[in-house]
Amino acid sequence: MKKFLLLTILFFGIISVYAQDGVGLRSGINLQKKVTKKVTLNLNGQARFNNNISYLQTYLFELGGEYKLSKAFDAAIYYRFVNRKKDETKNFNQRHRFYADLSYDKKFGVIKFQNRLRYQHQFKDNDGVTEFDASYIRNKIELSYDNKSNFTPYLSNDFFFQIGGTLDQLRPKVGINYKINKKNSIDLSVFNDVDLVGTDAPGPVFGLIYKVKL
């Protein structure tokens, strides 16, 4: 655990040096309901703050379902409704996102390996005019330390491949999940979006997500 905390501090220090836009925060709640042994429904709500957490840039809601294909593979499909503004001087604009996931996980001793492949399509809806935004293939790789305590630390990286384009973004992340009891947990994390094709250098973003199993 000490090594994980040291790694988190080092990670935060590195990305803070190159940041331009200050610290961000993503806070939200995840509600999960297991319908059958193979089907799980998820309802998520999230608020995202930017520029040293000085203003609300985005709020969103999403609904989706997961299906367990086998012991190692899961499939999921989601719809996300987003209200977002470019900066604190702009108005909120609506965005709609659809995405589908195929996930694989396997344990190697106390290390759990997860690989999530996602296709996402997003478009804007401004004043009745629909405008294409972007489509991506995303590949997320995560390693977590599966131990007997209530604390589960993890490391991950998300690779963003724009369809018709190239690999244009990375999202390295460190976090820890704390299990309060069988139905409640809290996920704390910090990540940074790394722009590979432009000059943007956004600041680190902290995550605080409360998870409830209904």
Question: Tell me: the pLDDT tens digits for 78-102?
Answer: 999 999 988 888 888 888 999 999 9
**β-bridge mates for residue 105, sequence order:** 114
17 pLDDT exceeds 50?
A: no
Helix (H), strand (E) at residue 48: strand 39-50
For residue 24, give the CATH number of its domain.
2.40.160.40
Q: What is the pTM of this model?
A: 0.86
What residues make up the domain containing 100?
Answer: 2-213
Q: How far is CA 191 from the centre of its chain?
A: 9
Q: Positive or negative CA dihedral for 15, 206, 78, 90?
A: negative
What pLDDT shows up at residue 85? 87
Q: Is the separation of the CB atoms in 133 and 123 below 8 Å?
A: yes
147: tokens are 């131990």
Q: How many domains does the chain have?
A: 1
What separation in angstroms does the CA of 91 have from each of 32, 86, 88, 122, 123? Answer: 32, 8, 8, 19, 17
Question: Tell me: the pLDDT tens digits for 33-85?
Answer: 999 999 999 999 999 998 888 899 999 999 999 999 999 999 999 999 999 98
- CB hemisphere CA count around 78 (13 angstroms): 27
What pLDDT shows up at residue 40? 97
Helix (H), strand (E) at residue 195: strand 194-195
